[in-house]
């Protein structure tokens, strides 16, 4: 695993020592090369994991997430080029350094064996993200957004630390590979209820669960583009990854405890999708769409069937790529009109036709069109929740409908219809933006040819 | 101050703490504590303003009361054990009295009221001595009597300190008061673990001293004592803003910075001793502390505070103030977490 971590750390001297007009080129190319090395992880065994050392391992769940993380760094660097042009050189390098630090910590989180190591790196990802949101965001609301983000996550994760140390004292080790075999069934009692809550709240806040999702629209909207991309694509998946890992040691308590959270996620998914239909702010729409998709992942992780785990993993990867692409598209609008209001830049198909292609593909992926992996994820989750309780099919069907509605609403408002008058002199799309969108959508489409690699460890 | 007097006072200060830590006779330790108090009061009065006089008087009164209580506890211990050796105490009354006396000396809640007032009235470097060096002597005595301390009293006082240190600092803009409330909260963390594993108290004290030293030295570079003044550091020394932010986040206990290490170790030790609710509550209450550190970090590093027109871009001269040990302290207070196993030498 050091073959990923050390090159990523070394991207930092690369940033600081490159020539002035080469910082973007160097970092993007080198991070792209590093992301190609992560494809080595595709060689996964079925029943066990690749154990690189005592500290790092990778199995079929963490490998696709790791690939997603590493793929996203060059994309975030490409997306940030434009809004940082006016900054002094040191600040550009600082920004890139924050992204690289975040990347290193995310790699270490997804591959950590020892659960306390996972916790430490999980918490450490907060600091670079906070700095990116607060220092480089654009509106005064970003201060509040940073505080909400930091404190919601910390409130949830401090009980996790206590619970993990308790588990270490009880079982003797927190090495995840051993825990899978050592874990005793958890009897139902009040103290075990509190312990289950301590484990899960950290990840539920991160996902986010519907009642605890207040930080997400703030953080996503106020963050600069790289921050939004990384937040939506990877940081939310940390919660999902944590849940999928920790539920394996928490059974059978989960069947008893999961009901309120299942209700919250199922209802929340409808609520947040519906609120998308009433959003005027484009980034806010995509943020609420993220909450809705993640609610599906929470539902899948909590009902703990093989199909639901596969659906959760597939959904996480699919949503990561789709949501990141949507944020990039929203950013391309923002850079031209300096406003996130959707109706200010409408009818763009006349002016930027190729960008419309990317908008179309992103919105179609968002509404889970066959044969994308979004559909595979959603279908597996819907089927497994149907088998858990027949009534959920009503909620799921409503969700699919409303998701389709808002995705197409977003597409039609921005692309179709009569254009607004003031966008006559829009700057044409850059090749960099087209590359960015292509690099998002091509993995998404290619994965629909072989979705086996993202279906997680229960395939 | 006249250099001779300065040398005499500083050497008395250092000597007194050494006396307290190495003595095995209760009377000698008490004398050390008295010398400590006597030596620091003229240092606090370097500039004889009314505010400094008020701070010194408050300090004197509280510390003298504490010393009197301490002497009472020593005598009661003498009555019940007929010997003056510093070891565990032989009487619960003596133990409770001594714990309260040392709590007054340290500034643990509910005896914390003097800490913000005194810290605010004295110059920054003296405040540094007050909040770091002055804690060494009482903690060394607490370490030695730790087997006989009443658990309920200690845990109550420490949890109350964490609460009050967190809540009290929320409404402050004066940096010295903020550091005082931070000191109260950190003392709370330190004394929680005293009865379970005193070496963790020492670890926490060491890390706290390093972080507070870093913080005060950074503040003293710009001679800033209010949040407003701190927000101007981007103008004069931009790199200090990064260091201030990192040190503040470290004091708040965020991984991967050093400040996470004592909290993590304390939580681990407490869960080993089957108390699970207490570390959870302590950790969550420490978030209050993090909130006002974050506020300082925002105003220093993460936003550009508005400044008056004639202050727009200051000439960045080489700093004339001595940055004693600042780079070392910054590195130690932000990057020490991977070296956690090293602190087993404290055991």
Of A127, A134, A166, the CB nearest to B249: A127
Of A313-317, A418-422, B8-12, which gets the smallest average pLDDT?
A418-422
**Greater pLDDT, A306 or A424:** A306
Task: Give the mean pLDDT of chain A.
Answer: 91
Compute the nearest-CA separation of A38 from chain B (Å). 25
Of B272, B280, B287, the CB nearest to A154: B287
Contact B271 A123 (CB under 8 A): no
Residue A49 is predicted with a pLDDT of 78
**Greater pLDDT, A415 or A40:** A415
Does the predicted interface ipTM exceed a cut of 0.90?
Answer: yes
d(CA A447, CA A50): 22
d(CA B314, CA B237): 9
Residue B313 is predicted with a pLDDT of 66
Mean of pLDDT values over A371-393: 94
Residue B216 is predicted with a pLDDT of 94
Residue B238 three-state SS: helix
Of A119, A143, A155, the CB nearest to B287: A155
How does DSSP assign B47-115, residue by residue? S--HHHHHHHHHHHHHHHHHHHHHHHHHHHHHHHHS--B-SS-S-HHHHHHHHHHHHHHHT-TTS-THH
> Which residue of A158, A159, A167, A224 to mutate against B (max B Cβ within 10 Å)?
A158
Does residue B309 carry a pLDDT above 70? no
Mean of pLDDT values over A338-345: 88
Residues 6+ apart with CB under 8 A from A453: A42, A44, A60, A63, A64, A447
Residues 6+ apart with CB under 8 A from A370: none
d(CA A30, CA A36): 10
Confidence of residue A345 (pLDDT cuts 50, 70, 90): confident
Of B272, B280, B298, the CB nearest to A134: B298
Residue A177 is predicted with a pLDDT of 81
d(CA A46, CA A67): 18
d(CA B214, CA B216): 6
If you measure CA to CA, which chain A residue comes closest to B271? A166
Residue B222 is predicted with a pLDDT of 83
Contact B294 A166 (CB under 8 A): no
Using the Cβ of A197 and the Cβ atoms of chain B, whether some distance falls under 8 Å is answered with: no
Does residue B24 carry a pLDDT above 60? yes
Q: Kind and range of the H or E element at A50?
A: strand A50-51
d(CA B326, CA A24): 33
Does residue B210 carry a pLDDT above 70? yes
Contact, B311 vs B233, CB < 8 A? no
Mean of pLDDT values over B30-40: 95
State which of A201-205, A247-251, B318-322 shows the largest mean pLDDT. A201-205
d(CA B181, CA B166): 7
Of A41-45, A87-91, A363-367, B330-334, which gets the smallest average pLDDT?
A41-45
pLDDT tens-place string over residues B270-305: 999 989 999 999 999 999 999 999 999 998 888 877
Residue B251 is predicted with a pLDDT of 95
The dihedral formed by the CA atoms of B138, B143, B147 and B148, expressed in degrees to the nearest 10:
-10
Residue A112 three-state SS: strand
Residue B165 is predicted with a pLDDT of 94
pLDDT tens-place string over residues B241-268: 999 999 999 999 998 999 999 999 999 9
Compute the nearest-CA separation of A159 from chain B (Å). 6
Percent of chain B, pLDDT > 90?
80
Of B254, B280, B302, the CB nearest to A162: B280
Mean of pLDDT values over A22-31: 94
Place of tokens 């909620």: A395
Residue A402 is predicted with a pLDDT of 96
User: Which positions 82-111 of A are in contact with B (Cβ < 8 Å)?
Assistant: 105
pLDDT tens-place string over residues A107-116: 999 999 999 9
Residue B308 is predicted with a pLDDT of 61
Contact B284 A165 (CB under 8 A): no
Confidence of residue A144 (pLDDT cuts 50, 70, 90): very high
pTM, two decimals, is 0.94
Mean of pLDDT values over A349-369: 93
d(CA A59, CA A238): 15
Compute the nearest-CA separation of B63 from chain A (Å). 36
Confidence of residue A80 (pLDDT cuts 50, 70, 90): very high
Does residue A220 carry a pLDDT above 60? yes
Residue B76 is predicted with a pLDDT of 96
Contact B254 A198 (CB under 8 A): no
Contact, A322 vs A365, CB < 8 A? yes
d(CA A174, CA A184): 14
Annotated domain spans of chain A: 1-247, 252-458
Mean of pLDDT values over B27-43: 95
Residues 6+ apart with CB under 8 A from B3: none
Query: Which alpha helices (H) appear in A172-224, and where do they start and end?
Result: 176-182, 190-206, 215-222
Mean of pLDDT values over B18-28: 95
Percent of chain A, pLDDT > 70?
100
């Amino acid at each position: 695993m050091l073959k990923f971590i050390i090159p990523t750390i070394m991207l930092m001297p690369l940033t600081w020592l490159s020539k002035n007009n080469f910082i973007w080129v160097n970092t993007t190319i080198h991070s792209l090369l590093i992301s190609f090395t992560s494809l080595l992880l595709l060689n996964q065994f079925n029943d066990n994991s690749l154990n690189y050392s005592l500290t790092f391992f990778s199995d079929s769940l963490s490998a696709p997430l790791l690939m997603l993380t590493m793929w996203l760094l060059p994309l975030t660097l490409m997306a940030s080029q434009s809004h940082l042009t006016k900054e002094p050189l040191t600040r550009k390098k600082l920004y890139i350094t924050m992204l690289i630090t975040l990347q290193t910590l995310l790699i270490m989180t997804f591959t950590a064996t020892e659960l306390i190591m996972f916790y430490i790196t999980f918490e450490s990802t907060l600091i670079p993200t906070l700095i990116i949101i607060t220092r480089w965001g654009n509106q005064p609301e970003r201060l509040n957004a940073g505080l909400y983000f930091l404190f919601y996550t910390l409130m949830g994760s401090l009980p996790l630390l206590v619970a993990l140390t308790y588990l270490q004292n009880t079982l003797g080790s927190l090495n995840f590979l051993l825990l899978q075999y050592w874990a005793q069934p958890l009897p139902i009692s009040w103290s075990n209820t509190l312990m289950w809550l301590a484990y899960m709240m950290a990840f539920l806040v991160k996902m986010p669960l519907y009642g605890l999702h207040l930080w997400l629209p703030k953080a996503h909207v106020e963050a600069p583009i790289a921050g939004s991309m990384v937040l939506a694509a990877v940081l939310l998946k940390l919660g999902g990854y944590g849940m999928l890992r920790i539920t394996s040691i928490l059974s059978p308590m989960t069947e008893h405890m999961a009901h309120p959270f299942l209700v919250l996620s199922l209802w929340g998914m409808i609520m947040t999708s519906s609120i998308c239909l009433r959003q005027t702010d484009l980034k806010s729409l995509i943020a609420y769409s993220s909450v809705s998709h993640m609610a599906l992942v929470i539902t899948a992780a909590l009902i703990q069937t093989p199909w639901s785990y596969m659906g959760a993993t597939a959904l996480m990867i699919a949503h990561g790529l789709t949501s990141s692409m949507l944020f990039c598209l929203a950013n391309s609008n923002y850079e031209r009109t300096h406003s996130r209001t959707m109706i200010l830049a409408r009818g763009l198909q006349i002016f930027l036709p190729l960008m419309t292609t990317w908008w179309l593909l992103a919105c179609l992926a968002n509404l889970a069109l066959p044969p994308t992996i979004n559909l595979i994820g959603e279908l597996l989750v819907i089927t497994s929740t149907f088998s858990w309780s027949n009534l959920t099919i009503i909620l799921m069907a409503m969700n699919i409908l409303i998701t389709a509605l808002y995705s197409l609403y977003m597409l039609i408002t921005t692309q179709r219809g009569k254009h607004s008058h003031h966008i006559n002199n829009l700057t044409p799309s850059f090749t960099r933006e087209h590359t960015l969108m292509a690099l998002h959508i091509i993995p998404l489409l290619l994965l629909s040819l072989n979705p086996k690699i993202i279906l997680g460890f229960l395939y | 101050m006249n250099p001779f007097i300065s040398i005499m006072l500083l050497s008395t200060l250092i000597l007194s703490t050494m006396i307290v830590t190495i003595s095995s006779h209760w009377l000698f330790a008490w004398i050390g504590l008295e010398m400590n108090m006597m030596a620091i009061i003229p240092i606090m009065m370097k500039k004889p303003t009314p505010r400094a006089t008020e701070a010194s008087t408050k300090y004197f009164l509280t510390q003298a009361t504490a010393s009197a209580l301490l002497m009472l506890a020593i005598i009661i211990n003498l009555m019940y054990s007929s010997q003056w050796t510093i070891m565990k105490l032989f009487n619960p009354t003596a133990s409770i009295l001594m714990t309260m006396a040392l709590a007054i000396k340290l500034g643990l809640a509910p005896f914390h009221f003097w800490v913000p007032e005194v810290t605010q009235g004295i110059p920054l470097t003296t405040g540094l001595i007050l909040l770091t060096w002055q804690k060494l002597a009482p903690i060394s005595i607490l370490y030695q009597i730790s087997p006989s301390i009443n658990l309920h009293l200690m845990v109550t006082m420490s949890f109350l300190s964490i609460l009050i240190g967190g809540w009290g600092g929320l409404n402050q803009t004066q940096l010295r008061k903020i550091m005082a409330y931070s000191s109260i909260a950190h003392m709370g963390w330190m004394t929680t673990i005293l009865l379970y594993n005193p070496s963790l108290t020492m670890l926490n004290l060491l890390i706290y001293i390093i972080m507070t030293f870093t913080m005060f030295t950074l503040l003293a570079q710009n001679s800033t004592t209010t949040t407003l003044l701190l927000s101007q550091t981007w103008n004069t020394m931009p790199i200090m803003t990064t260091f201030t932010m990192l040190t503040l986040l470290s004091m708040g206990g965020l991984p991967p910075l050093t400040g996470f290490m004592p909290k993590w170790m304390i939580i681990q030790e407490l869960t080993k001793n089957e108390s699970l609710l207490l570390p959870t509550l302590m950790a969550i209450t420490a978030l209050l502390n993090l909130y006002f550190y974050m506020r300082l970090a925002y105003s220093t590093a993460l936003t550009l505070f508005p400044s008056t027109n004639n202050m727009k871009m200051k000439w960045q001269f080489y700093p004339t103030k001595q940055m004693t040990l600042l780079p070392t302290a910054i590195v130690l207070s932000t990057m020490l977490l991977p070296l956690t196993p090293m602190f087993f030498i404290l055991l």
